Amino acid sequence: MEERLQKIISRAGVASRRKAEEMIAAGRVTVDGVTVREPGTKADVAVACIAVDGKPLPEEEGRVYFLLNKPKGYISTVSDERGRRTVIDLLPVKKAHVYPVGRLDQNTEGLLLLTNDGTLTQGLLHPRFLVRKTYRAKVAGELTPKALKKLRGGLELADGMTAPAEVRVYGTTDQGLVDVEITLHEGRNRQVRRMFEAVGCDVRALKRTRFAQLTLDGLKRGACRPLTKAEIASLYSLVEER
């Protein structure tokens, strides 16, 4: 059965679909020895010889899915040229082609998915599927009714208007910080921190507590577990074309 090349490359665990499209456009992919530059090109992996940078695609790996409770101090990449600790270091078994689904910055903790399923990753990160993420933050500054209205209605950042967010204030900590929960479906770089900065508040602690239907219930900081079949099916139900 013929499929788009970027889907085949992603499923083989070489790269995400978006990265695979870049590889194709750069002339790094061949089909039966012929360079292909059009991302929409289709091929049948059962009969065609597909190669990236001259190397045939590896046989498809079995799909693996991990839910990690990321601590602060780890970066959400597979490797780091500066030798910093990465989330891959926290997996009980090192998987060469497992990638984080999105990122949490080094000082943000909480729920992070890791998988070698490029198709699911692409869907969960695509803005049209509106996958919800919930964060718990401790912020310095005053969350006035005007500030809350801006957060809930959308506000202007350097990269454009944000979508409306759900915001719930729980109170004030002993340190005088505002304890607040925010849910959004976008995934811009450092978005939660920048949204609070835009209303005059400074995020002192940030933790992602929910991704789609998944939570950290029963999972200690720094620990991970495989997803259940029901959880995987639930994630796929969010990103199926309707």
Contact criterion met (CB below 8 Å) for 176 and 168: no
Residue 44 bears catalytic tag: no
9 vs 205: CA distance, rounded Å? 38
Query: Could you tell me which CATH class the domain 132-211 is placed in?
Result: alpha beta
40 pLDDT tier (thresholds 50, 70, 90) = confident
Rg value, the chain, Cα: 20
Retrieve residue 161's tokens: 């208007």
Under DSSP, the state recorded for 75 is: B
Model pLDDT for residues 133-182, shown as the tens digit of each residue: 999 999 999 999 999 999 999 999 999 999 999 999 999 999 999 999 99
Catalytic option among 44, 80, 89, 105: 105
Residue-wise pLDDT tens digits, 199-223: 999 999 999 999 999 999 999 999 9
* Residue ranges of the chain that CATH labels 3.30.70.580: 65-127+216-239
- Tell me the average pLDDT across 189-199: 96
Q: How far is CA 26 from CA 3, 4, 21, 57, in A?
A: 20, 16, 9, 17
Gap between the Cα atoms of 162 and 80, Å rounded: 30
In the chain, CATH 3.30.70.1560 sits at 132-211
Task: Rounding to the nearest 10 degrees, give the CA dihedral for residues 230, 18, 207, 95.
Answer: 60
8-state DSSP, 62: P
Site of tokens 């789609």? 212
Q: What's phi and psi for 157, nearest 5 deg?
A: -115, 175
Where, residue-wise, is CATH 3.10.290.10 in the chain? 2-56
Q: Does the domain spanning 65-127+216-239 belong to CATH 3.10.110.10?
A: no
Instruction: Let me know the angle formed at the C-alpha of 11 by 10 and 15, rounded to the nearest 5 degrees.
Output: 25
Residues 8 and 57: beta-carbon distance below 8 Å: yes
Helix axes 17-25, 118-125, angle to 10 degrees: 100
b/e code 28-58 from CB counts within 10 Å (16+ = b): bbbbeeeebeebeeebebeebebbbeeeebe
Min mean pLDDT across 88-97, 123-132, 200-209 is at: 88-97
CA dist 189 and 115 (Å) reads: 20
Q: Domain 2-56, what fold?
A: 3.10.290
